[in-house]
Structure 1
């Protein structure tokens, strides 16, 4: 690719190693892709940021960290259930430089297995962003969330989003986000994702989850829904983004799915890469 990619991540200190693994898988499986990794954060240590810069640059990417001041989101609902990182991705248009027009947001609990070129170059056709739904076999979760949030569209996962940053600057604002939090309160099970769907779901273009946001917990659902076609061989060839959704994570000992060993293999190689810097 000759085009420069803008990748967005928003983490705290606890997710530095998962971020490194995600980026390592990206660099390994997209060797011709280059661009800028944008990190929006509040509390990453300077030495960690400096190391990430050096390590990312060793793969011919640029690393740019934007530290948010404590008073940047004065008035935001930043209690335990609504951390400031929630606002960083939703309000990236207000934070990123004006020259950034398009950005691919990725959660850190992800492996990149194949090319991201098709997603990065996706025609948004006027939509604010592109995201996937996790339908399962029956898509019952979207119906439940329609009732819970009073929406009429599928429920989108916020872990992978291709964002038109200019549109985000026009449409997304902190006042609307706070109003949504006030309205739903404890009904917000996944606060940032619920807010995204309630306020901006109608502006989202759907992308196929089995390619761009594969839920690592739901192999059997994908297999059943495809009538046996989307087996492990299909997945390893066609899935670009493998997402380890849920509370249990593959770097934790209690995690045990058919993809845990795959993640641990990337983790081992990533640690070797990091140790060589």
Structure 2
């Protein structure tokens, strides 16, 4: 068996058949999801929020490192302050539920450890998988103290890329932040679709004071707020306009 995890599927004895789904119901969820900016005062049951968050965490993510955190703000005082930090926009001010979605590129080692523990307890784990999490992941996402290794990694990949196909990053703090933000955004979409499927609505917000939000949640400098999602029951004033989309030909390219 090849030890290259990229060129050959590992021979792990695990099978998970595809589940039959209702495409029509899925389409209904997608098409009915709107960015709702005004809610009724009806709260979302805690059990529903918890299940939607669980489904959010099932989103795909690079190397299964799960570089995200979701802060469900339940404290009345913190919730009120968070609404103020979201500029008191209606999507925040009227929402019974606010969830701060945080990218954590600084916690890649947490995800590495989760996978190392899991695969170390399996007898059928190929050497390539162990090598991936023990050697390749630290090389890709680790940058040393003060990111001192980042320029050397970038230079090495530049020269290697002249002779072979090779991933071009992430490099350094900005590269890891982009990587973690993309992954967190995938989970955000899962979360919003879960709310819609449960009969509630949501709005992803980027209009907020990140410095104050991070201070409110006691987040370190290595964390970054990807977006804040409000959720609740839409009111009659919840949708500001019909959905506007350009022609598909502008965005979908068949090459």
**TM-score, normalised to structure 1's length?**
0.20
Say which structure, 1 or 2, has more relative contact order (CA 8 Å, 6+ apart). Answer: 2
More strand by share: 1
